[in-house]
Amino acid sequence: MDFLSLIIIFIGSTTMLFVLTRRYFSSRGMKLPRMPETWWIPGTENSVNNDIRPYNITFSEEVVKDLKYRLKHTRPLTPPLKDVAWNYGTNTDALQKLLDYWANDYNFKEREKFINQYSHFKTNIQGLDIHFIRAKPSNTEGKCVLPLLIVHGWPGSIMEFYKIIPLLTSSRPEHDFVFEVIAPSLPGFGFSSAATIPGLSSIHMSVIFKNLMSRLGYDKYYVQGGDWGSSVIHTMSCLYPQHVLGMHSNLCLVLSKWVLLKKILFNNFSSLLPWRKTKKEKFLTLTETGYFHIQATKPDTVGVGLNDSPAGLAAYIIEKFSTGTNSSYKNRMDGGFLEKYTYDELIDNLMVYWISNSITTSMRIYAEQYTKLNRTLTSILESTPIKVPSTCAQFPHEIMEQSPSELKKRFVNLLRVTKMPRGGHFAAFEEPELLANDIWISVDEMEKWNKKHRNNINF
């Protein structure tokens, strides 16, 4: 490494140290906020009720006809450069095969029936019609039924959970409990309505889902999630520990300022140490965060094209199911996504976004998370210990990973960290059996912890 590079790293790290230190002391000592129950569609306060309504997902003939027309009249795709595979983004040769399948072989009626195999509902929470799946166990004889809220992220949907739901709602002889699964669509995603005023971040979604569980009659429950879902359940566990019996996440993160600072300094300077021969710690890299910056600043701009073109929507989302599943897939011409998913499964997820016209509103979560007010709230939450019993599943191709010692700085009652043998970012979708098994074992440990410790913890 040359002298100029050392100077650049030093200046950058020093600047970051100053910024983080200043922000730290500006929020130090601030109390955990009491979150308001904001009404997210003003003007509808007197026109909604608290009913829980059955809901059926429909691929209307009009929508399907229009979709097929757009797919079959897509302008010729720009050919990829020679040998770049997916390193420039979605490889259009691989994309064309998926689009051809969507237009000609995807059975809309059969897939509509498949999506409706579980019981779907809607109920109005804080002005928003929140869509959710409620899957009850088939055999509860001799078993305690434990409610489990599972939360998806972007660019996923409730479709991520279709293979894991039966693994959680089917009783196992070695456990004296079984799960009832509640899987909502995040506000602004799929069939949950979007806010008409700014500010709805994952923090506020935790309030909505706390109210959803209360509406369903659950005062205490377990929570599970990855991606944005992990942010939601971490916040729920922090704000509402009296309701959350335990938390299981496949993306446990500690993003306090000092942990981030340590990451920056370690990754920049460790390579300069002659005795440091091990790999750098795994952390999100700049090469895979371009979408994040766009969506955190101009989601409505990029959303116009994605809402108008199914080919554009597919290109934008499928690329995440390639690199998110395994970053090495970007070096494969086929993108590797068929290693873990079928065309039908990937298109089911695309259909949720297409028929609900929700790609723009789903991307706004990135922008809302980084408003001045929400950055302050996040800073306070990240600095507040989570006391509910917690367990983490770490899949080897996840976009971020932290050590148990780091995780314990936030999850103070961390019972279990499981290193998975395979899998990536979309754990429930990719490896439902691995994830389900870890949830069962984790909840068993959390149940034992609660019986022994819960009454002695000051939440």
The residues assigned a catalytic role are: 227, 366, 425
Angle among Cα 383, 373, 247 to the nearest 5 degrees reads: 40
User: How far are the Cα atoms of 195, 324, 332, 392 from residue 327, in angstroms, in the given order?
Assistant: 34, 6, 10, 21
Query: Is the peptide bond between 155 and the residue preceding it cis, with omega within 30 degrees of 0?
Result: yes
Give me the amino acid identity at 79. Answer: P
Task: For 172-183, give the DSSP string.
Answer: -TT-SEEEEEEE
Pairing of strands 221-225, 128-135: unpaired
Chain-centroid distance, C-alpha 379: 20
Q: What angle, rounded to 10 degrees, do the helices at 202-215 and 359-369 form?
A: 120
Taken in order 248, 249, 255, 258, the sign of the CA dihedral is: positive
Pairing of strands 128-135, 120-125: antiparallel
* Helix spans in 105-201 (H): 108-115, 165-169
**246 near 233, Cβ under 8 Å?**
no
User: How far are the Cα atoms of 234, 238, 370 from residue 154, in angstroms, in the given order?
Assistant: 16, 22, 16
